[in-house]
């Protein structure tokens, strides 16, 4: 399977707001923890190592 | 401190070699009477090789040190006739539990199936283990020379020359082959100027062996961030004689001399065990560790084994257990070279197979270390996230890494293997160690591994072929239904054995080749291949 980077979320603005809301009132440290847990949960859901590698690489390339 | 063990005292007795004033030549000298050197020497002696074992100490291991011995190492020692006292004296266990704070978040079972002679793990203080190995070495005629320190090594010429210091003066020996099993600070490695590749870690750990009557079960318990030792890890193991191994992570800034003092250690233990638990300290040590190895384990006529060749973190019990597999892998090859039934090139396969095993051990050991002692803020965040999720989300439990415990090496890419031509189910491809299974012989119960000899064996299902010799090498036959009864059907199941199936097993009980039907020419070619006899006529 390939990493899908085409639009895939039906209501993107809703998702984005909920992601930001998730971190409201959290300290930087708490946010880091939430993000780490979120990455692990999503990674396990995807499961496909090829997709995960492509996502990690795409994330690294933007920095 | 309390002593539950009386250390034997081995005297130095000047050998005939030393008294002769000549430099005498031996076929094999082993340096280092630890678990690896003793195992190699016993195996050589059983195979009929005159072997001299040199050690600079006068007793066995001081302190309990290695503690955890895995099934494969026990199977090797059983082949050498010395596993019984280890299993009898040791603490058998197979369950590991991982706690975060005071809550269990993960557990594993290391031997989920029955029908193996040896248990998954035995915990035993290293001094007992070495005492049993020394006893066996003496029984089989190993000449152990205590308090003899090798001070250099000269590899010019077609042999090795060793200058040796003893309490009664210096002398020198020559050897056709030298097994360097002289530990992490190997004098032979340094004399040859060989560098390690890998990583050193800064975190310090405290080992406390305590004697107590406690009702912990015989399991491996590992805590992340326990209430009694916040923000660090702790490991608990049961050993023989009511001695318990407790291992506290101290962090990189701990002062090793300060931390070893009983005034520091005892409050840590009381916090863990409760103020009312009575215990006595038996041994305390502070250590750091390295994950590193030599690039090559064979250097001409010098063969490195055990910690002298590779070092790992203690999480995973991959130190002594891999060193013993080094010895198991090396000795039959050295014997074949000494007998002239294999070329010296066979010893290069020791390097290929055991470097691959060391790589796997180092990878696992380094990963465990990174999980237990995260090196950066983000590494810490992911580690904590895994622990956070583990309690309620099963997937995260598989990511918890408190040490991936030693499993036997599979030499999947070995040049000695003959590739499968036929389809097989199961987990026994060429390069695998043979699985054990219960059998009966002459109506008496026994174990399959005990029937595999110390040479090449054809394990046959169905009709037995004629015995055969490949050059001077005899291949023994072991046929299900004729030489033993597969009483529970587990041999056929574990080997996917059907009528006609044949396995060629190496002297170290690893699979060299297998077929669905016996073909003499193929067996001959596979034996030649397993002995690195290339281009030889069948």
B231 pLDDT exceeds 70?
yes
Answer whether A41 sits within 8 Å of B381, measured CB to CB: no
- Rg of chain A in Å (alpha carbons): 13
Residue-averaged pLDDT of chain B: 95
**Which domains does chain B carry?**
438-530 (3.40.30.120)
Region B114-123: what's the mean pLDDT? 96
DSSP B362-404: HHHHHHHHHHHS--SHHHHHHHHHHHHHHTT-HHHHTT--S--
Contact (CB, 8 A) for B10 and B166: no
User: What mean pLDDT do residues B424-440 have?
Assistant: 96
- What residues of A are in contact with residue B401 (Cβ under 8 Å)? none
CB contact under 8 A, A33 and B395: no
Alpha-carbon distance B453 to B470, whole Å? 17
Model confidence over B190-215: pLDDT tens digits? 999 999 999 889 999 999 999 998 88
Contacts A–B by Cβ distance under 8 A: 29
Report pLDDT digits (tens) over B138-197. Answer: 999 999 999 999 999 999 889 999 999 999 999 999 999 999 999 999 999 999 999 999
pLDDT at residue number B157? 84
In the prediction, which pLDDT does B215 show? 84
Residue B66 has pLDDT above 80, yes or no: yes
Per-residue pLDDT, B464: 80
Instruction: Name every residue in A having a CB less than 8 A away from some CB of B.
Output: 32-33, 35-37, 39-41, 44
B70-116 pLDDT per residue, tens: 999 999 999 999 999 999 999 999 999 999 999 999 999 988 789 99
pLDDT digits (tens, 9 = 90+) for A34-63: 999 999 999 999 999 999 999 999 999 987
- Residue B506 pLDDT more than 60? yes
Backbone angles phi, psi at B253, to 5 degrees: -95, 0
pLDDT digits (tens, 9 = 90+) for B233-263: 999 999 999 999 999 999 999 999 999 999 9
B535 pLDDT tier (thresholds 50, 70, 90)? low
Q: Which residues of A touch B384 (CB under 8 A)?
A: 33, 36
Contact B390, B458 (CB under 8 A): no
Place of tokens 């084994």: B305
Does this complex have an ipTM over 0.90?
yes
> Cα distance from A8 to chain B (closest Cα, Å)?
25
* In the predicted structure, residue B409 carries a pLDDT above the cut 50: yes
Predicted confidence at residue B536, as pLDDT, reads: 54
Among candidate residues B79, B496, B73, the one with its CA nearest the CA of residue B326: B73
CA B330 to chain centre: 13
Inter-chain contact B396–A44, Cβ cutoff 8 Å? yes
Tell me which residue in B381, B382, B395 faces A44 most closely, judged by beta carbons.
Answer: B395
The residue in chain B having the minimum alpha-carbon distance to the alpha carbon of residue A36 is B382
Domain residue spans in chain A?
Answer: 29-63
d(CA B389, CA B371): 15
State which residue of chain B sits closest to A30, comparing Cα positions. Answer: B381
Q: Give the CA count within 13 Å in the CB-facing half-sphere of B445.
A: 6
- Look-up: residue for tokens 């002593």? B3
Contact A40 B399 (CB under 8 A): yes
């Amino acid at each position: 399977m390939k990493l899908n980077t085409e639009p895939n979320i039906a209501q993107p603005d809703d998702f984005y707001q909920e992601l930001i809301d998730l971190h409201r009132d959290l300290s930087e440290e708490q946010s880091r923890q939430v993000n780490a847990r979120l990455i692990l949960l999503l990674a396990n859901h995807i499961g496909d190592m090829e997709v995960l590698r492509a996502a990690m690489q795409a994330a690294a390339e933007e920095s | 401190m309390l002593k539950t063990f009386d250390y034997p005292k081995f005297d130095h007795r000047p050998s005939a070699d030393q008294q002769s004033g000549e430099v005498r030549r031996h076929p094999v000298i082993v340096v280092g009477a630890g678990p690896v050197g003793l195992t190699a020497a016993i195996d050589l002696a059983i195979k009929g090789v005159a072997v001299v074992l040199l050690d600079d100490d006068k007793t066995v291991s001081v302190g309990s040190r290695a503690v955890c011995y895995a099934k494969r190492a026990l199977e090797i020692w059983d082949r050498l006739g010395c596993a019984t006292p280890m299993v009898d004296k040791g603490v058998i266990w197979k369950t590991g539990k991982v706690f975060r704070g005071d809550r269990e978040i993960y557990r594993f079972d290391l031997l989920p199936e029955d029908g193996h002679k040896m248990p998954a793990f035995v915990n035993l203080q290293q001094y007992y283990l070495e005492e049993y190995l020394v006893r066996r070495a003496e029984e089989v005629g190993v000449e152990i020379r205590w308090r003899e320190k090798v001070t250099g090594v000269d590899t010019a010429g077609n042999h090795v020359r060793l200058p040796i210091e003893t309490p009664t003066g210096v002398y020198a020996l020559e050897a056709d082959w030298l097994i360097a099993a002289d530990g992490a600070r190997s004098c032979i490695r340094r004399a040859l100027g060989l560098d390690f590749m890998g990583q050193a870690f800064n975190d310090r750990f405290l080992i406390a062996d305590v004697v107590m009557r406690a009702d912990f079960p015989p399991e491996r318990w590992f805590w992340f961030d326990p209430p009694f030792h916040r923000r660090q890890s702790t490991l608990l193991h049961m050993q023989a004689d009511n001695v318990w191994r407790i291992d506290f992570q101290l962090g990189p800034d701990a002062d090793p001399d300060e931390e070893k003092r009983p005034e520091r250690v005892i409050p840590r233990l009381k916090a863990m065990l409760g103020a009312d638990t009575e215990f006595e300290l038996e041994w305390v040590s502070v250590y750091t560790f390295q994950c590193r190895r030599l690039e090559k384990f064979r250097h001409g006529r010098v063969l490195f084994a055990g910690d002298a060749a590779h070092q790992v973190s203690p999480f995973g019990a991959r130190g002594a257990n891999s060193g013993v597999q080094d010895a198991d892998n090396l000795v039959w090859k050295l014997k074949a070279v000494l007998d002239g039934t294999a070329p010296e090139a066979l010893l290069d396969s020791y390097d290929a197979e055991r470097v691959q095993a060391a790589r796997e051990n180092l990878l696992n050991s380094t990963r465990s270390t990174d999980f237990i002692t995260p090196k950066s803020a983000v590494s810490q965040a992911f580690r904590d996230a895994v622990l956070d999720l583990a309690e309620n989300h099963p997937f995260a439990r598989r990511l918890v890494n408190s040490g991936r415990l030693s499993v036997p090496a599979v030499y999947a890419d070995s040049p000695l293997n003959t590739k499968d031509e036929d389809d097989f189910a199961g987990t026994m491809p060429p390069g695998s160690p043979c699985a054990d299974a219960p059998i009966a012989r002459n109506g008496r119960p026994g174990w399959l591994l005990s029937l595999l000899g110390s040479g090449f064996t054809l394990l046959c299902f169905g009709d037995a072929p004629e015995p055969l010799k490949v050059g001077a090498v005899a291949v023994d036959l072991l046929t299900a239904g004729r030489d033993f009864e597969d009483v529970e059907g587990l041999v056929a199941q574990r080997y996917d054995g059907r009528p006609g199936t044949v396995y060629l097993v190496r002297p170290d009980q690893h699979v060299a080749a297998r077929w669905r039907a016996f073909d003499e020419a193929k067996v001959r070619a596979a034996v030649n291949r397993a002995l690195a006899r290339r281009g030889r006529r069948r």
